[in-house]
Amino acid sequence: MDLIPKPDQLVSAASNVAHKVLYGGIADLRPMPRTLIDEGELREVYHYRPVATTRQVGDPVLLVTPLAAPSTCYDLRRGCSLVQHFVTEGRPTYLVEYGEVSFRNRNLGMEHWIDDVVPTAIREVSAHAGGRPVHVVGWSLGGIFAMLTSADSPDLPIASLTVVGSPIDVSLVPIVAPLRPLLQLNPLAGRGAVTRAYQAMGGAPKPLVKWAFQLSSFQKLITKPLAITTHLDDSEFLAQIEAVDRFTAGMIAYPGRTFGQLYHRFVKGNVLKGGRFELDDRTIDLKRITVPVLVFGGASDGIAPVPAVKALVPLLEGSQEVRFEIVPGGHLGMLTGRAARGTTWKVLDEWIAQWSTPVEGPAPRKRAAARKSAPAKKSAAKKSATKKAPTKKAPTKKSAARTAPTPDQTAIGSNPQRRYGSEGSRQLSR
């Protein structure tokens, strides 16, 4: 709103305030309709009902929710919902979430999600979609769960993997980096004060998780009242604020053992920086991921800044294709912010279309094998952010593996040499 509001701005502001007072809010927070298709301990797999006027086609998408965050991250509000976008486009859409975490779940570690929750969800989605391979999309810790699952179980029916805002090198995270040296030197670290605290509480409780998320955007939290006042005439801005507030209020607790693993191995040990993760009696190596991987970094992400996310790219040596993209937005905004509709979502659409099997054609497993034998083009890898793994197999026709038509090079995300969205995004990509 201008310093001296115009008449139309005053009318819009008055209308928004009246709507807020009379109806309790401006945002359309109705969730997209869905059906439960599988459940287990801290595992609920949902299928989103297709739009009556749109026929569902192509390989399914599975959205993997991060631990402690509500599934509304993917279905924030009508008009700004990744779920709604996929469903409207006719893409079979599924989601796995974990429900409420309580004290009785305190002994569950990361192996519960890597060995049971995520792989079971992938198999159930594939079966429900008629045996087709699954495009797995994971945000934040959900992306890390998806990566470790793919590396540990390469036989899963995965068509592609998309990782959104998942920090791999936590030493490059500003809110964590100053603390790591202190944790290493402090004699109370390890089995000291922090360990005793989360063991006594059975994990990280909701209020602590909510506070930590808000702390990552502390500046926005402080300036929020002023921002609302100056945008009273902007219903879209106000609706987004309401939706994010509901998301933050819906934070879920961390189970004790999982929180301990994240604290000791990720925050203190920074183990994923080397691409290897010790779990029970085995080592999970990210080099074992063979499916195509799309990696997103948010230009203004404080929880998973671009360098911390980009550290994943050189670790995916075995992947058929790796593509890294910088998009506008913070940690949540890059996934489901207003700008994401014209950036992140468009790239996702192109990526999924590129690696999807045709509606009529060979069986999914044969198709995946055909893609795996496709030769890498070194010249293309040098010109873009895409990295392709070398192969010694005889070349095959790459056109057989990519059935989608050549995208319009003027569209956002269609050119791998292009960075988009904002000036800050373009600067970060250099």
Supply the Cα-derived Rg of the chain in whole angstroms. Answer: 22
Choose the weakest-confidence range: 48-57, 118-127, 370-379: 370-379
Q: Which stretches does DSSP call E strand in 114-246?
A: 134-139, 158-164, 203-204
pLDDT of 249 strictly over 50: yes
pLDDT of 252 strictly over 60: yes
Q: Give me the domains of the chain, ranges plus CATH numbers.
A: 1-29+207-244 (no CATH), 31-205+253-428 (3.40.50.1820)
| Three-state secondary-structure class, residue 284 | strand
| Three-state secondary-structure class, residue 410 | coil
More confident residue, 251 or 87: 87
* Tokens 């930590």 found at: 212
pLDDT at 126: 98
pLDDT tens string 268-300? 889 999 999 998 889 999 999 999 999 999 999
**pLDDT-based confidence at 152, cuts 50/70/90?**
very high
Q: Which helix (H) or strand (E) holds 97?
A: strand 93-97
**pLDDT-based confidence at 8, cuts 50/70/90?**
confident
| Three-state secondary-structure class, residue 334 | helix
pLDDT at 360: 55
Q: Please report which residue ranges of 373-422 form alpha helices under DSSP H.
A: 378-383
pLDDT at 221: 54
pLDDT tens string 412-421? 444 444 333 3
Cα gap 146→135, rounded to integer Å = 11
CB of 78 closer than 8 Å to CB of 87? no
pLDDT of 353 strictly over 50: yes
pLDDT at 105: 82
pLDDT tens string 37-86? 999 999 999 999 998 877 878 899 999 999 888 999 999 999 999 999 99
More confident residue, 366 or 347: 347
Burial class (CB in 10 A: 0-12, 13-18, 19+), 398: middle
